[in-house]
Amino acid sequence: MPKIVKLSQNFNVLQFVSGEGLIKRPYRRNTNMQEENILIPEKPKLNRIRERIPKTDLTRVVIIGGGFGGIELVRQLSKQNVQTVLVDKHNYHSFIPLLYQVATAGLSPGDISSPLREFLQDNKNFHFRMAKVKSVDPEHKRVITSSGFLEYDKLVIATGSSTNFFNNEQLKKNAHKLREISDAIELRTKLINNFEEAIQADGDEELEKYMNIVIVGAGPTGVELAGAIGELRKHVLPKDYPELDFSKLKIWLVEGTDRVLPSMSERSGHRAKRYLKKFGVRLLLGKFVKSYDGELVTLSDKRTIQTQCLVWAAGVKPNNIKGLPEGSDVKGRIKVDDFNRVWGAKDIFAIGDVSYQESAKHPKGLPMLAPVAIQQAKRLSENLIAQIQGGEEKPFMYVDKGTMATIGRNKAVIDAPFGIRLGGFLGWFIWMFIHLFSIIGFRRKLLVFSQWIWNYFTYNRGNRLIIKKDLEDE
């Protein structure tokens, strides 16, 4: 915005700073006036994101996104002689597969979150900037952010994905999602607050809306969340709220396809369905949510469910970025070749959920899974160094190491390579082992393991806290 400068002396030249630097303009005072107001432009915001990132002869690799792919790429490049700049809107990395345990009071947010600046400690050529990326400028090789623009030699887009409400604004406004730490804290607060409200409910009709929990989407997130809430209902909540009859607590799991865990094998789906029924989860298969106004859910078969809590786990969409060449967008994902190079762009790469990469086994694109992002990051780091050093690049080939989901304690399903299907306690133990060692940092591994051991033997989840933005006295 411009600003007014009041002049009270004779000036032949008016000086001010603009986006072009110091500007001098001839100026003639009106001698009939004692003083005069002059409108000049305000000094623009500085290009802050570049501050304290030293200029260097090293190749600068800018990575957008601190998810699984971005973090793995930073790890790999930290061993190389390049300058790495990581840009993310948050200053932490969250272990998304365990968000449901934060939402159900099994873990604390800090147990599964790692500060991105931890990577600075052992690498003088690594820099982190917290900013929101608005677009890229391939012509001038720079990234446009909320804090200014940043030049790159190589750019890697690893922005991941977010919840897909399929353009339903009502659901977006009223439903809970589970993609970030803040979502998990908000959902935990909602669940526990509902039971506090249920104690004071006036009549069965009001009680029903607090004792109904609707989860939409029977993929791994929905199934694991339903199982965790079922475990709370059985072992924890009756002790906290002896005044309530938890046989009236209904957990609804709505799925648009005709089976649970549609992305996994049919055998694993049947196992998961059996485990869920043991927890009393009510399955509504082949049904869609048409609307939810914050109190009433309407399904595709016109069934209605009163609830104060609907969790949307029915799909994700890629976090694409503006400024990429025309033709690089495939259903919201960024089209890349076998070397993860963005179609039609030079020195720009994409990995993880946001990338669209076809293969013989995946003609519709690789699945949007963390293992894909991690494997792509490892190969891309090798190829980037090969480019810099004039070596030979190698195409990426995804190795499917299996998928898994847990449904409460002692129950999990695993689709392993070579057609191996595991379940029950063995599947649960393998699930726990793999997730534990995937968490970043020894301290967090120890915290999570100790919490799991404590919860397993005591059935006590100590993070049942209601945290709200505003607490008003009434």
Cβ atoms of 284 and 259 closer than 8 Å: no
Q: Is residue 138 predicted with pLDDT exceeding 70?
A: yes
Q: Tell me what the mean pLDDT of segment 405-428 comes to.
A: 94
Burial bucket for residue 318 (CB in 10 Å: 0-12, 13-18, 19+): buried
Mean of the per-residue pLDDT values for the chain? 89
pLDDT score of 468:
75
Amino acid 448: pLDDT: 94
How do residues 242-289 score in pLDDT, each as one tens digit? 999 999 999 999 999 999 999 999 999 999 999 999 999 999 999 999
Distances (CA, A) of 445 to 434, 442, 451, 464: 11, 5, 10, 21
pLDDT per residue as tens digits for the range 65-118: 999 999 999 999 998 999 999 999 999 999 999 999 999 999 999 999 999 998
Provide DSSP, 200-264: T--SHHHHHHHSEEEEE--SHHHHHHHHHHHHHHHHTHHHH-TTS-GGG-EEEEEESSSSSSTTS
143, two tokens: 């990234």
For residue 129, the model assigns a pLDDT of 96
Structural domains present in the chain: 3-44 (no CATH), 50-89+131-163+317-389 (3.50.50.60), 169-314+403-458 (3.50.50.100)
Q: Which residues contact 321 (CB under 8 A, 6 or more apart)?
A: 64, 133, 135, 136, 157, 159, 334, 354
**Residue holding tokens 């090969």?**
386
Distance in Å from the first CA to the final CA of the chain: 42
User: Containing H/E element for 426?
Assistant: helix 424-438
What CA–CA distance (Å, rounded) separates 331 from 462? 43
- How distant, in Å, are the alpha carbons of 144, 158, 201, 311, 343 from that of 376? 25, 10, 52, 31, 16
Given a cut of 50, whether residue 5 has pLDDT beyond it is no
Question: What residue spans of 264-369 are helical by DSSP H?
Answer: 266-278
Q: What is the mean pLDDT of residues 318-340?
A: 95
Please tell me the predicted confidence (pLDDT) of residue 4. 45
pLDDT (average), residues 110-139: 91
Say what percent of the chain tops pLDDT 90: 80
Q: Are 387 and 346 in contact (CB under 8 A)?
A: no
Q: Is the pLDDT reported for residue 9 higher than 80?
A: no
Question: How far from chain centre, in Å, is Cα 79?
Answer: 27
Q: What percent of the chain has pLDDT over 70?
A: 89
pTM, rounded to two decimals: 0.87
Q: What is the dihedral of CA 350, 217, 239, 248, to 10 degrees?
A: 170
For residue range 380-403, what is the model confidence (pLDDT) as tens digits? 999 999 999 999 999 999 999 999
Q: What share of the chain is helix, strand, coil (3-state, %, to 5)?
A: 35, 25, 40
Q: How confident is the model at residue 469 (pLDDT cuts 50, 70, 90)?
A: low
The tokens describing 327, both together, are 């033709």
Contact indicator for 205, 212 with CB cutoff of 8 Å: no
pLDDT value at residue 7: 47
Give mean pLDDT, residues 155-160. Answer: 98
CB-CB neighbours of 127 under 10 Å: 21
Please state, in angstroms and rounded to a whole number, the distance separating the CA atoms of residues 317 and 173: 17
Higher pLDDT, 185 or 44: 185
Q: Which residue has the higher pLDDT, 233 or 14?
A: 233
Q: pLDDT value at position 75?
A: 93
Residue 365 has pLDDT above 50, yes or no: yes
Sheet containing 403-406: which strands, arranged edge to edge? 403-406, 412-415, 421-423
Beta strands in 73-211 (DSSP E): 83-88, 92-94, 113-115, 126-130, 133-137, 142-145, 148-151, 154-157, 161-163
The answer to whether the beta carbons of residues 397 and 361 sit under 8 Å apart is no
Residue 463 is predicted with a pLDDT of: 77
- Residue whose structure tokens are 């949307």: 312
Region 127-146 average pLDDT: 96
